[in-house]
Amino acid sequence: MGHRTGPGAAVIIAVIAAAVVSAAPGAQAPPKEPAAPATLRVIPKSRRMSTYTLGARFEITTRDITFDAPAAYQSGFDFLAGRMRGQRKSEVCEMVTITQDADASGDVFFRRTIPKYDIEFQKQGEIFAPGRGIEKTVAALQWEGKLDPLGNVKEMHKVAGDDGGEVADLAIPEMSRVFPELKGPLSLKLGDSFKEERIVRLPTKLGIKGLENVTIQWAREYTLKSQQDGLATFEVRTTYANDPAFKPEMDGTTCQISGGGSGEALFEIRRGVFLRSRVPTSMQIDIEAPLRPLPDQPATNVTSVGKSHILLDVLLSGEQTVKRAWGDEPD
- Residue 153's pLDDT is 96
- Residue 330's pLDDT is 72
Q: Check whether 326 has a pLDDT greater than 50.
A: yes
The rounded mean pLDDT for the chain is 87
Q: Which residue has the higher pLDDT, 57 or 31?
A: 57
Rounded mean pLDDT, 241-256: 94
Q: What is the pLDDT confidence band of residue 44, given thresholds at 50, 70 and 90?
A: very high
Calpha distance 180→279 (Å, rounded): 12
- How confident is the model over 84-98, as pLDDT tens digits? 888 999 999 999 999
Q: What is the pLDDT confidence band of residue 34, given thresholds at 50, 70 and 90?
A: low
Q: Check whether 26 has a pLDDT greater than 90.
A: no
Rounded mean pLDDT, 233-255: 95
**Cα–Cα distances in Å, from 209 out to 18, 47, 78, 258, 290?**
82, 45, 20, 21, 9
Tell me which of 25-29, 111-115, 156-160, 248-252 is least confident: 25-29
Question: Of 63, 86, 119, 85, whose CA–CA distance to 259 is shortest?
Answer: 63
Please list, in sequence order, all residues whose beta carbon lies within 8 angstroms of the beta carbon of residue 226, skipping any fewer than 6 positions away.
190, 232, 233
- Residue 25's pLDDT is 46
Rounded mean pLDDT, 236-257: 95
Q: What is the pLDDT confidence band of residue 189, given thresholds at 50, 70 and 90?
A: very high
Question: Of 226, 230, 317, 320, whose CA–CA distance to 274 is shortest?
Answer: 320
The CATH classification number of 40-324 equals 2.30.230
Rounded mean pLDDT, 193-209: 93
Q: Phi-psi region for residue 173, left (φ > 0), alpha (ψ -120 to 50) or beta?
A: alpha
Q: How far apart are the first and last CA of the chain?
A: 74
Calpha distance 61→121 (Å, rounded): 10
